[in-house]
Amino acid sequence: MVSLRCKMMVKEELNKLGLQFVVVDLGTVEIQEAISQEQLTQLKDNLLLSGLELLDDKKSILIEKIKNVIVEMIHHSDEFPKANYSDFISEKLNHDYTYLANIFSEVKGITIQQFIIFHKIERVKELLLYGELNLTEIAHRLHYSSVAHLSNQFKKVTGLSPSFYKQLKHKRRANLENM
Q: What radius of gyration, in Å, describes the C-alpha atoms of the chain? A: 20
Q: Do the Cβ atoms of 74 and 120 come closer than 8 Å?
A: yes
pLDDT at position 40 is: 82
* Side-chain-side CA neighbours of residue 121 (13 Å): 20
Q: What is the mean pLDDT of residues 16-28?
A: 78
Angle, CA of 150, 153 and 156, to the nearest 5°: 150
pLDDT at position 56 is: 67
What are the φ/ψ torsions at residue 160 (nearest 5 degrees)? -125, 155
Nearest to 37 by CA among 54, 61, 22, 50: 54
**Is 60 exceeded by the pLDDT of residue 155?**
yes
Q: Tell me the three state secondary structure of residue 123.
A: helix
pLDDT at position 1 is: 42
39-50 tens-digit pLDDT: 888 888 888 888
102-153 tens-digit pLDDT: 999 998 999 999 999 999 999 999 999 888 889 999 999 888 999 999 999 9
Domains, the chain, with CATH or none: 1-50 (no CATH), 57-109 (no CATH), 115-178 (1.10.10.60)
Q: Is the dihedral of CA 7, 11, 16, 18 positive or negative?
A: positive
Q: What is the mean pLDDT of residues 33-58?
A: 81
